[in-house]
Structure 1
Amino acid sequence: MTMTSRRSGEPGRPASAGGPAGTGQGTRIRLTNVTKDFGHATPAVDDVSLTVEPGEFMTLLGPSGSGKTTTLNLIAGFETLTAGEISLDGADVGHVPPHRRNLGMLFQNYALFPHMTVAQNVAYPLRERRMDRRTIAARVADVLALVQLTGRDGDHPAQLSGGQQQRVALARAIVFEPRALLLDEPLGALDRNLRSALQGEIRRIHREVGSTFVFVTHDQEEAMTLSDRVALFDNGHIEQVGTPQQLYTEPETLFTARFLGDSNVFELGSGGVGDQAGWDGERWAVDPDTIAKHPGVTERAAIVVRPEDVGVVRQRADLPAGANAVAATVRDVEYLGSYRTLLLALGTPRVPGRARVSAIQGDYAIGDDLVAWWRPRAQRVVAA
């Protein structure tokens, strides 16, 4: 990790949907068939393989107990492998102790020394590495400028806000120029507004230092905001890896579709999916390009439609040509400023659903009978 900005004109985001542009900076982290078994019914991490490219911002996302934090701890060396391999730039570090991996860590708990000043806290990793005073002073000044805390050198942690303390912790984590920075839910203790502001700061710092960041969170919005790519965890394995846009618009499984954003879900049961699908007496067209390339689709499938892709009409005669449709009843209406969300009961099973409509688009009331519709290309057929 270097404290210099990326080259002029160099993107801070992936050049394409396929992955990061790569800056030549940062470390490639590769996990191959990684397993961690604590002796419970199922492994905490179960045969996980993942490559984080140099300079990439990779987020490990998932619910509590999904294995994301254990995976981060395995990369850091805080947990020992049960099986598999972890490499940094091609070198196996599975049995290398944490202090020899040269990785920075940032936690939700700031872990600052209360008796030390800001400068002393930030300088601590450099003193441990026995650097000379002039180098330490220069690096501390540079990194405090990077996190926008110039002039707070002599303050103690108790004199700082929570956000400022987290900036100090971030400065300490990167001041010794680690090979990569590992962040374990570092914003979880902050209020919403401060959290949003620090997300922007973390994005900016990632762009400026150009290093590899691996970030753990259970917050889907945080993952979508920060990441080049996201690895979605569930029950110890990776459900899907892709850019935030890929995971939202092209989920491969029902878990991915439900975890990232709201969805209208129609479970089709077992059997293959052809050019049509049946649900509750409806026959819907299926575009082959919308079928997830996932082996589970041939066993159990579901159709997923995002709320912003659903329209509503009063009568079937008003449906656009070629649309898929289902009967719907309004259960509630949420006013959200520029748009409203209609909470719907869909079909005879009265499956919960949502449609997003303009704030000036019609007057809808609880109990209204409508027809919900969408274009076949707007749906996604996923493994259920």
Structure 2
Amino acid sequence: MSTSTVASPQSPASAPTQGTQIRLRGVTKDYGLAAPAVDDVTLTIEPGEFMTLLGPSGSGKTTTLNLIAGFETLTAGTIAFNGADVGILPPHKRNLGMLFQNYALFPHMTVAQNIAYPLRERRMPRAEIERKVADVLELVQLQGRDGHYPRQLSGGQQQRVALARAIVFHPSALLLDEPLGALDRNLRAALQLEIRRIHREVGSTFVFVTHDQEEAMNLSDRIALFNTGRIEQLGTPEQLYHAPETLFTARFLGDSNVFAIDGPGTGSTLAWEGAVWRVDPRTVSPHPGVAQRCAVVVRPEDLHLAPSTADVPPDANSLPARVRDIEYMGSYRTVVLAYGSAGTPGRVRVEAFDAGFAIDDQVVAWWRPERQRVVAA
């Protein structure tokens, strides 16, 4: 599994980078269970970057965030902010903003008082507090709500207040732990746009934890995908989606048609249940596991359906399939397929108005060799 840092192909944010570099080296957290919660994680988060820690429950992403925040103590390794070791510093001395799923607002305080709380704790002059609160209210678009109490606000407005309170004192970095998990789908989408806008405007380092793949791909400059305490793959959303290095990555980010191959993926062709497929060497993962056992991954949008082999382009890879179901998704349809003798499940995305296939139809699925990915199984 890869724990090395991958350079971002472009500047992570258009705003001037004024955030903090966060560097983890060999970070481990062991609770004395069968395996460490975080196992030898090495990661560099660049100043001004929006880094997402993504993974299933129990993968180590939240524990890693808590180690950065100082809520958990290190078993091994180091954490540095701009080169300075912070491993022994308590949370309140790390100058970090925190945003949680539960808003943690003080119900007896107004919006302005909630936002001003970290400034009062730092004993700033009243005039400066009032100016900073007014500025951040404008940033989160809550002007005129300063005298309201949390109970008078919607869930989305309360989360904006919590975000304003987390950034009003210009923290070294903002840590966000599943902050949108309690919101409905439409409100989540709206708040994602707001978080992206605010990140661009403040230019600070954001470290975001989620298990939602779409959220991660929508928000992030880079994603660190966690699996059993380690970083499975690190890269941009495009890299993880289009160039997964392992089967775990391919399956966790988006739908995939997966064909397990009993053998290495280093040749010019691969065979699956009698079908022989061309291999484009550019699509083979550099992960060393490919040399032992591999799988071919094809995304649903890269698959096409034909009524017979005669309708398949001569340079395409293909195999027969049976239509198991057709799902109408509004803007498109998903054709659910069964491949091979064992009925291996698969999916292909077609146009919403494409009604040329019916359940139990025998079809041929085909794709271009450059649109597949050969990964370690």
Structure 1 position 18, deviation (Å): 5.6
Asked whether the equivalents of residues 17 and 246 of structure 1 are also in contact (C-alpha less than 8 Å), the reply is no
Aligned to 1:319: 312
Aligned to 1:104: 97
Aligned: 1:168 with 2:168: no
Give, as a single letter, the amino acid of the residue that structure 1 aligns with 2:272. Answer: W
Structure 1 position 273, deviation (Å): 2.5
Which of residues 313, 319, 328 in structure 1 aligns to 2:321?
328
Q: Equivalent residues in 2 for 1:51-70 (5 A)? A: 51-70=44-63
Aligned to 1:207: 200
Give, as a single letter, the amino acid of the residue that structure 2 aligns with 1:164. Answer: Q
Aligned to 2:12: 20
Structure 1 position 272, deviation (Å): 4.4
Which of residues 251, 264, 270 in structure 1 aligns to 2:257?
264
Give, as a single letter, the amino acid of the residue that structure 2 aligns with 1:97. Answer: P
Distance 2:9 2:322 in 1: 38
Asked whether the equivalents of residues 294 and 376 of structure 2 are also in contact (C-alpha less than 8 Å), the reply is yes
The runs of 5 or more residues in structure 2 that have no matched partner are 1-6
Aligned to 2:4: none
Asked whether the equivalents of residues 19 and 229 of structure 1 are also in contact (C-alpha less than 8 Å), the reply is no
Q: Equivalent residues in 2 for 1:373-384 (5 A)? A: 373-384=366-377
Between 153-162 and 353-362, the greater mean CA deviation after superposition: 353-362
Asked whether the equivalents of residues 248 and 260 of structure 1 are also in contact (C-alpha less than 8 Å), the reply is yes
Asked whether the equivalents of residues 8 and 222 of structure 2 are also in contact (C-alpha less than 8 Å), the reply is no
Structure 1 position 157, deviation (Å): 0.7
Structure 1 residues 185 and 198: alpha-carbon distance in aligned structure 2, compared to 1, 3 A threshold: same
Distance 1:359 1:157 in 2: 43
Give, as a single letter, the amino acid of the residue that structure 2 aligns with 1:115. Answer: H
Asked whether the equivalents of residues 230 and 241 of structure 1 are also in contact (C-alpha less than 8 Å), the reply is yes
Distance 1:135 1:30 in 2: 32
Structure 1 residues 21 and 126: alpha-carbon distance in aligned structure 2, compared to 1, 3 A threshold: closer
- 3-state DSSP of counterpart to 1:270: coil
Structure 1 residues 72 and 16: alpha-carbon distance in aligned structure 2, compared to 1, 3 A threshold: closer
Distance 2:10 2:293 in 1: 27
Give, as a single letter, the amino acid of the residue that structure 2 aligns with 1:80. Answer: T
Aligned to 1:141: 134
Distance 1:190 1:180 in 2: 24
Distance 1:211 1:159 in 2: 30
Asked whether the equivalents of residues 268 and 279 of structure 1 are also in contact (C-alpha less than 8 Å), the reply is yes
Structure 1 position 338, deviation (Å): 3.5
Asked whether the equivalents of residues 50 and 208 of structure 2 are also in contact (C-alpha less than 8 Å), the reply is yes
Give, as a single letter, the amino acid of the residue that structure 2 aligns with 1:84. Answer: G
Aligned to 1:129: 122
Q: Equivalent residues in 2 for 1:348-363 (5 A)? A: 348-363=341-356
Could you tell me the TM-score, scaled by structure 1's length? 0.94
**Deviations 1:249-283 (Å, cap 9, x if unpaired)?**
00000000000000000011333430000110111
- Alignment length (residue pairs): 370
Distance 2:347 2:184 in 1: 28
Q: Equivalent residues in 2 for 1:90-101 (5 A)? A: 90-101=83-94
**Deviations 1:130-180 (Å, cap 9, x if unpaired)?**
111011010011001111111111111111111111111101000110010
Which of residues 224, 228, 240 in structure 1 aligns to 2:233?
240
Identity of aligned residues (%): 72
Distance 1:220 1:337 in 2: 21
Distance 1:215 1:30 in 2: 15
Structure 1 position 243, deviation (Å): 0.8
- 3-state DSSP of counterpart to 1:48: strand
Distance 1:62 1:197 in 2: 23
Give, as a single letter, the amino acid of the residue that structure 1 aligns with 2:147. Answer: G
Asked whether the equivalents of residues 51 and 224 of structure 2 are also in contact (C-alpha less than 8 Å), the reply is yes
Structure 1 position 16, deviation (Å): 6.6
Asked whether the equivalents of residues 58 and 229 of structure 1 are also in contact (C-alpha less than 8 Å), the reply is yes
Aligned: 1:80 with 2:73: yes
Between 203-212 and 362-371, the greater mean CA deviation after superposition: 362-371
Aligned to 2:23: 30
Distance 1:202 1:163 in 2: 12
Structure 1 position 337, deviation (Å): 2.9
Distance 2:220 2:198 in 1: 13
Distance 2:353 2:170 in 1: 53
Structure 1 residues 19 and 290: alpha-carbon distance in aligned structure 2, compared to 1, 3 A threshold: farther
Structure 1 position 355, deviation (Å): 1.1
Asked whether the equivalents of residues 106 and 184 of structure 1 are also in contact (C-alpha less than 8 Å), the reply is yes
Aligned to 1:152: 145
Distance 2:341 2:299 in 1: 20
Give, as a single letter, the amino acid of the residue that structure 2 aligns with 1:204. Answer: R
What is the root-mean-square deviation of aligned Cα atoms in Å? 1.3
Structure 1 residues 21 and 198: alpha-carbon distance in aligned structure 2, compared to 1, 3 A threshold: closer
Which of residues 194, 198, 209 in structure 1 aligns to 2:187?
194
Asked whether the equivalents of residues 303 and 380 of structure 1 are also in contact (C-alpha less than 8 Å), the reply is yes
The runs of 5 or more residues in structure 1 that have no matched partner are 1-14
Structure 1 position 349, deviation (Å): 2.1
- 3-state DSSP of counterpart to 2:262: strand
Aligned to 1:221: 214
- 3-state DSSP of counterpart to 1:186: coil
